Chain A
Amino acid sequence: MSEHKEAYEDIPGTWVFDAQRARLGYPLNEFLYSLMKDSNRKAFLANEREYTLKFRMSPEQREGVLKRDWNRLLELGGVSYALAKLAFTDGKSYQYMASQMTGMTEKEYVDMMLKGGRSPDGWRTKAERQGKR
């Protein structure tokens, strides 16, 4: 693996869905895309592990799906809009999934948004984030 680092990798709490991540995430995202069909959603919920075996994703990606480990799935090349289809399959909202990614409860997250959302201050670079902690 090359040592090439993109400037946006320095934004904390963010996994930019770039061409490298898209390459790794391809089978994972194709699995998530399949959940657009109601019959597939039902088949997945009936036996989650078995259904995911139809897709050539990595064991790490499969574990991430079964555990709904959203941030890990972002890191492994899942794209948020595709991950949302897994949340919808669970009967959850996008907002619920986003709150899980931030480590807040859904109520805490909604309250933060009602107060105007998260300021970029302290969240621009990893160094700035370290300083704020």
Chain B
Amino acid sequence: MARIIAGVGTSHTPAIGAAVDNGKTDQPYWQPLFKGYEPAKRWMAENKPDVVIMVYNDHVNAFDFKIIPTFALGCAEEFPIADEGWGPRPVPIVKGYPELAAHLVQSLVLDEFDMTICNEMQVDHGLTVPLTLLCGTPQAWPCRVIPLAVNVIQYPAPTGHRCFRLGEAIRRAVESWDEDLKVVIFGTGGMSHQIQGPRAGLTNPAFDTAFLDGLSKDPERLLSIQPLEYLREAGAEAIELVMWLLMRGALGERVQEVYRFYHIPASSTAVGNIILEAR
């Protein structure tokens, strides 16, 4: 049986990818951040998942504005790296797992989650930066990746409650797949940040800490956070945190927090990282 063994929450700030790609990780600005991710990288190397389900959002790269899916699952054999405006990141192509992705789609739709099916899709920094942070710079990524893109760009994003319930349905779907597989689910984006308008640069460490505590100890409490509260308290782009709730929903009731890291800034973002093992 396939099992979700853990969830990883992490920011996916594009500047982090650029720092790696341009050899800046030892600079004073970046060094504390990459040092803070070392234990998570070790955890990933030790736990060797076969498959990562990457919950992330596209940033006007795979999808323009012609079609805006709320939940889109990548079912392709592989996913090319998008040119976001300065050339594609020099990272390995992302290999999918079409057989398992097809199973997830069937299971999720029958479980009343209407997924958009993507048989071709480019992936952007939202997906590649978390891989870089947790896997470093290998010649080929060490696991297969099923992308799950969530619309958080055009308001409203799906609610945290809805995302959490989708996570629960993903757990059921994975556990009904016969093959012996270790699956890790990532929830990415956030934490507090706003990158538009005169209020850009907003961060809220108190909000972020309470959110991390809630993921670990009492996720139900987080499900009632309304979109307005994310926007007002933690910045217009903090709504991305609903994707962390999707990840948490897939872990079952009890989890063990094995790592946490928090750092300001990466560009305009308060960066968070948490690893929760399913119990």
Contacts and interface: CB of A to CB of B under 8 A. Distances in A.
Given A124-B232, A124-B233, A116 B268 contact: no
Given A18-B154, A82-B60, A117 B198 contact: no
Contact of B85 (A17, A25, A35, A79): A35
Contact of B201 (A29, A35, A41, A112): A112
Nearest to A78: B196
A95 B196 contact: no
Interface stretch (A6-14, A50-58, A60-68): A6-14
Given A17-B153, A33-B60, A102-B198, A88 B86 contact: yes
Interface of B: 14-15, 29, 59-61, 64-65, 82-87, 153-156, 192-205, 227-228, 231-236, 264-265, 267-268, 270
B205 A13 contact: no
B202 A117 contact: yes
B200 A79 contact: no
10 contacts: A8-B227, A11-B232, A16-B231, A29-B65, A36-B85, A88-B86, A109-B201, A114-B29, A117-B202, A123-B199
B85 A117 contact: no
B199 A11 contact: yes
A75 to B, nearest CB: 9
B197 A15 contact: yes
A18 B59 CA distance: 15
B198 A12 contact: yes
B201 A84 contact: no
Interface in A113-133: 113-114, 116-120, 123-125
Contacts of B82: 36
Contacts of A120: 202, 204, 232-235
B194 A14 contact: yes
Determine the main DSSP class of B at the interface with A: loop
A71 B193 CA distance: 17
Nearest to A103: B198
Given A14-B194, A36-B61, A109-B200, 12 more contacts: A7-B228, A13-B197, A17-B154, A79-B153, A85-B60, A88-B84, A93-B15, A101-B197, A102-B198, A118-B194, A119-B202, A124-B233
Interface of A: 7-8, 11-19, 22, 25-26, 29-30, 32-33, 35-38, 41, 71, 74, 79-82, 84-85, 88-89, 93-95, 98-99, 101-103, 109, 112-114, 116-120, 123-125
Nearest to B239: A16
Contacts of A93: 15
B83 A36 contact: yes
Contact of B195 (A12, A15, A94): A94
A41 B196 CA distance: 23
A112 B198 CA distance: 13
Nearest to A35: B85
B86 A14 contact: no
